[in-house]
Chains A and B, each alone.
Chain A
């Protein structure tokens, strides 16, 4: 149990285009999902907390108009990187927490490369 699937695993896009990343909880309902960015050999930087049916809460310094988050169902949250630039290239990873639980489980991550 507690499987979180993230898609795609990797994506290459051109500067100026938008990219959508999906995070799905496969065998549980996730009221809350978290989106992180991880730089090589560094920790997990929380970008935003996504709650089903409400607006995401963004961490300080994260542009909400650039990183659009939608959590439209209890099993799916999406992160859209709009007007991507090379500096947005990174490893993006989500985690999901089941309703009423404290444990969070991670997706496999998405390697985004903007050329």
Chain B
């Protein structure tokens, strides 16, 4: 089955800095990679996703890159703000069932 590794487990940055979270996956058949943001006590929210036919996708201050050859994908947050503080989960899934396998999560702390 799929195995998703996520690093780092904790990331602390100053407001305005950039933050990068990296994930690797094991199943070369995976073709859909969503990212979720979970604030304390709340549900995970889908913030961005990427499919395997695209190498990069941007949405305002967040972007995701995908390297299919190396089987890794990353979340980039620029100009971080305190409200970006949350746990971020990456996931990978493959066509057909699209059952997502989640990484262990990254706790992002943005200091004002």
Contact A104 to B100, CB < 8 A, known contacts A42-B105, A43-B89, A44-B89: yes
Q: Mark B35-77, 1 if CB is under 8 A from A, else 0.
A: 0100000111110010100000000000000000000000000
- List, in ascending order, chain A residues with CB within 8 A of B97's CB: 49
Which of A42, A44, A46, A103 makes the CB contact (< 8 A) with B46?
Answer: A103
B103 and A43 contact, CB distance less than 8 A: yes
- B104 & A102 in contact (Cβ 8 Å cutoff): no
Contact B99 A102 (CB under 8 A): no
Shortest CB–CB separation between residue A22 and chain B, in angstroms?
15
A67 touches B (CB below 8 Å): no
Stretch of A11-19, A71-79, A80-88, A106-114 at the chain-chain interface: A106-114
Any chain A CB within 8 A of the CB of B24? no
**What is the interface residue range for chain A against chain B?**
10 to 19
How many A-B residue contacts, CB cutoff 8 Å?
45
Contacts of B103 in A (CB 8 A): 43
Taking a contact as CB atoms under 8 Å apart, the answer to whether A106 and B44 are in contact is yes
Which residues of chain B are near A97, meaning CB under 8 Å?
98
Q: Give the complex CA separation of A105 and B43 in angstroms.
A: 9
Interface class of chain B by DSSP: strand
Find chain A residues with CB under 8 A from B99 CB. Answer: 34, 46, 49
Taking CB atoms, residues of chain B closer than 8 Å to A109 are: 43
A34, A44, A106 — most chain B CB neighbours (10 Å):
A44
Residues in chain B near residue A30, CB distance under 8 A = none
Q: For the complex, what is the distance from the CA of A76 to the CA of B83, rounded to whole Å?
A: 33
**Which chain B residues lie closer than 8 Å to A43 at the CB level?**
89, 102-105
Question: Interface on A for B, CB 8 Å cutoff?
Answer: 32, 34, 41-44, 46, 49, 93, 95, 97, 102-109
Q: List 7 A-B contacts (CB under 8 A).
A: A32-B98, A42-B104, A44-B44, A46-B99, A93-B43, A95-B44, A108-B42
Task: Give chain B's interface residues, CB within 8 Å of chain A.
Answer: 32, 34, 36, 42-46, 49, 51, 89, 93, 97-105, 107
Query: Which 6 residue pairs of A and B lie closest in terms of their CB atoms, listed nearest first?
Result: A106-B43, A43-B104, A108-B43, A106-B44, A44-B102, A102-B32
